Amino acid sequence: MYQEYEGRDLSGTVLRIVKSSIYDGNGLRTVVFMKGCPLRCKWCSTPEGINAKIETTKDGKLTYGNRMTVEEVMAEVRKDSPFYFHSGGGMTVSGGEMLFQAEFVAALVKQACKEGINTAVETSFYSSWEKIEPILACLNTAFVDLKVMDEARHRAFTGVDNEIILSNIKKAGNLDLPNFKLIIRRPLVPGVNDSEAELVALGQFLEALPAVQHLQLLPYHRYGTDTYRKLGIDYGLDNVETPSEQHMKWCQRITNNYVKTII
């Protein structure tokens, strides 16, 4: 039945496939984590997704990454179809940065869409619009991280400029595609991107974009620190605590003045 389709035999490097996730979109999701990311966020909780190559922990006990074709990934995704149907779930492609392997992801999303599977991506939008557009054309939901509005701080804490990210969010935020939802996420890192000025700038930027469904504020956590140790790389943030519920609500009140905000 699935013998022929465009991109079927393309191969990509997949970090892992997680079944039955409830955190990466509506319903039960199969999450395909791709390897490779051009950013270096100091709080990254999946350091094993950053390097585009397959890598092994220092003690040699764990290997991160696996070469798979689009069809091999689809075969895994299809296995959970009954759960998608009953829960309103589907497939989410995440990373690393899934746009690092944009051609592979475009073929995957397109095929899932053809088979009636709900599709979502989690991304930083740090890529050219030419790579993003073909993925959005058949996508149900894009969760886009907008980490810092202030340009210099964005560079200092993620290693890259935010100009292209803001430009891509603007373009996507003005799209009028049926069944497409754009949700912006802000990982709130105390002392980095949670000042009043930063949150007002974020709210004002999103307020002008009609396709943005809402903003989601996510509290910083020190997830992934054990993986840093196993890979022998330094964790980028010291002495930063998870924000309190009270602080999250304070941040929500500020951005809610401009854009619907959930935490």
Q: Which residues bind ligand SF4 (CB under 6 A)?
A: 37, 39-41, 44, 46, 49-50, 95-97, 124
Q: Closer CB to ligand SF4, residue 90 or residue 96?
A: 96
Q: Which residue has the tokens 């999250």?
A: 248
Q: Closer CB to ligand SF4, residue 74 or residue 149?
A: 149
Greatest pairwise CA separation for the chain in angstroms: 55
Q: Closer CB to ligand SF4, residue 50 or residue 206?
A: 50
Radius of gyration of the chain (CA): 18
Q: What is the dihedral of CA 187, 189, 195, 198, to 10 degrees?
A: -40
The two structure tokens encoding residue 156: 């200092």
Q: Closer CB to ligand SF4, residue 98 or residue 117?
A: 98
Question: What is the per-residue burial (b if ≥16 Cβ within 10 Å, else e) of 144-176?
Answer: bbbbbbbeebbeebbebebeebbebbebbbeee
- Quick check: helix, strand or coil at residue 22? coil
Q: Closer CB to ligand SF4, residue 40 or residue 249?
A: 40
Residue 189, number of CB atoms within 10 A of its CB:
22
Least CB distance to ligand SF4 at residue 175 (A): 22
Spatial separation of the C-alpha atoms in residues 196 and 28, rounded to whole Å: 35
Element spanning 34, H or E = strand 29-34
